[in-house]
Structures are given as C-alpha cells and as structure tokens.
Amino acid sequence: MITILSYGFLPPLISFGWSTLFAALLFGGVLTLTHRWGEIRNRSSLRDILWATLFLGILYYGLVFFGLRYTSAGNASLIAATEVCFSFIFFHVWRKDFISPKHILGAIFMLIGVFIVLYPNTTKLHLGDLLILMATIIAPFGNYFQQRARERVSSEMILFVRSAISTPIVLILACLLREKFSIADLKTSAALILINGLLLMGFSKILWVEGIHRISVTKSNALASIAPPLTLLFAWLILHNIPTLFQLLSIVPILFGMALLSMNKRPGTGHLT
C-alpha cells in the first residue's frame, strides 16, 4: 500500500532503488551498533547471500514493485499468499523437509482463502497479478539460500549485503529504462520511501529472516497470510479500495489456517516447527 502511494510521484524502479538504499543504511547501522562487521569476512556464507540477493533482492522485489503498478494492494497481498503453496512444493516435496499433517491442513486453509478472493478474476488476470504470481514462485529459492546463510552470519549482515548489491543494480536499470523523476518528486515522497525502506524492507525483513531461521518457510509464509486481511482493511481506510464480498469471505479460512499452524509441535521435540 505504501509502495502504491509512492507511485504517485516516482516510477517503480526509482521507488524500489531508494527504498533499498535506506534499508541498507538501516542494516549497516545495526551492524555498527552490535559490532558485527567482522561477519563480512565469513566467505562460506557469501555464495548463499549472493544467490539470495539475485532471487529476492533483485528478481522478487523487482517483480513486486512493477506488479503493484498494475494491480491493487489487496489483490497483490492475496496473490502473494500463494507463496505457501510454492514453498510447500520446494521445501517439503522436492527437498523432503518435515512438515506435520496439521501444518499441511493449515496451509490448505490459507490457500482456500486466497482462491476464494481470486475466483471472480480467474478469467481475466491482469499483468500486475501475473507479475506478483511470478514473484511468489521465485521467493522459495531465495528463502532457501537465506536460511543457509543465516546458519553462519546474522540477519543484518545477509540483508546489508543483499541491499548494498541490489541498490546500484536497480538504479542503473532504472536509468537504462529511462525512468524519470525530479528532486522535487523525491522530496515529496521522502516519507513514503523512508517507511518502505526502514520498516517494510528493513526491520520487517530482519524479523522474517530470524523467523525462517527458527521455523519452516512454509509455516512462516502461512502465518504471514494474516497480511491480506490487514492489507484489505488499511487499503479500504487509506486508499478507499472497498473490499469485495469474496475478499471478506477469504478471511475466515485464513484465520482458521493460522490457528492450526500456530498450535502444533514437531514430534519428539519441544520446539515449534
């Protein structure tokens, strides 16, 4: 929603590039305060961080920022919830990671909620919807490499390197595509870019990487499906996008799925999976 508001002044790649820059500054500041800059010498994690940068820092967010130019915040959030399905295929079908029956059922309820809201538009998916869907297919690959890197270095180091590499690439691409903006436009949207960079692409990503370090990516994505109803609420209050009946009905299975995903424990351990 914040990203869409910024498009009133800035084109997608410019908004993306500046948001990523502020995120990098945040991660660098945290590394300085916690005295963790020495982690940058850990070469064993570099390959995983670079792959995560490609899949998430460039491809995923590039598709999301472009997609939000052509679809609504509510639709984007709901389509992004299909990442639960792609994460399940990647981690639990292909890589055969453990997942309990209750978690599978919870993820299914989450997907039911998403398909309820998408059903009226199945015959006319827009370009923005397809771009968001492509991003969700890519995301599990990036999360896999982030998980691997987090075993050796902190979340802040992973995200700093990712953001520091992504920023110049995105801004160079914006120049090549001749995306235009003025200093006045940048000043006008400064508050939105700061929120995007420091909170949405900054602090929330630290929480995400720490989360998938402790529980499965599939469960993390399913729990994150609380985002669609919240996005619908704030899109209605701020952007005046009135939710449809199908969007409201989707909230019920999403909340039920979250309850299932939150209560189960992995057999033989005292830790949530």
Q: How many CB atoms lie within 10 A of CB 35?
A: 7
CB of 258 closer than 8 Å to CB of 222 = yes
Residues 6+ away with beta carbon under 8 Å from 123: none
With cut-offs at 50, 70 and 90, classify the pLDDT of residue 117: low
Mean per-residue pLDDT for 251-271?
Answer: 62
pLDDT bucket at 49, cuts 50 / 70 / 90 = very high
> What is the per-residue DSSP string for 143-207?
HHHHHHHHTTS-HHHHHHHHHHHHHHHHHHHHHHTT----HHHHHHTHHHHHIIIIIIIIIHHHH
pLDDT at residue 114 in the model: 67
pLDDT value at residue 149: 96
Instruction: Name the more confident of 113 and 128.
Output: 128
Q: How far is CA 155 from CA 158, 202, 211, in A?
A: 5, 11, 10
Residue 267 pLDDT grade (very low, low, confident, very high; cuts 50, 70, 90): very low
What digits encode the pLDDT tens for the residues 75-104? 777 777 778 778 877 887 777 777 778 777
The angle formed by the CA atoms of residues 81, 114 and 63, to the nearest 5 degrees, is 40
Quick check: 122 pLDDT over 60? Answer: no
Instruction: Give the residue, 2 or 196, on which the prediction is more confident.
Output: 196
Helices 101-118, 251-263: inter-axial angle, 10-degree rounding: 170
Summarize the confidence of residues 259-267 as an average pLDDT.
Answer: 59
pLDDT at 36 over 90: yes
- pLDDT band for 21, please (50, 70, 90 cuts): very high
pLDDT in tens, 168-226: 999 998 888 888 878 888 888 889 999 999 998 999 999 999 999 998 887 787 777 67
Higher per-residue pLDDT: 249 or 165: 165
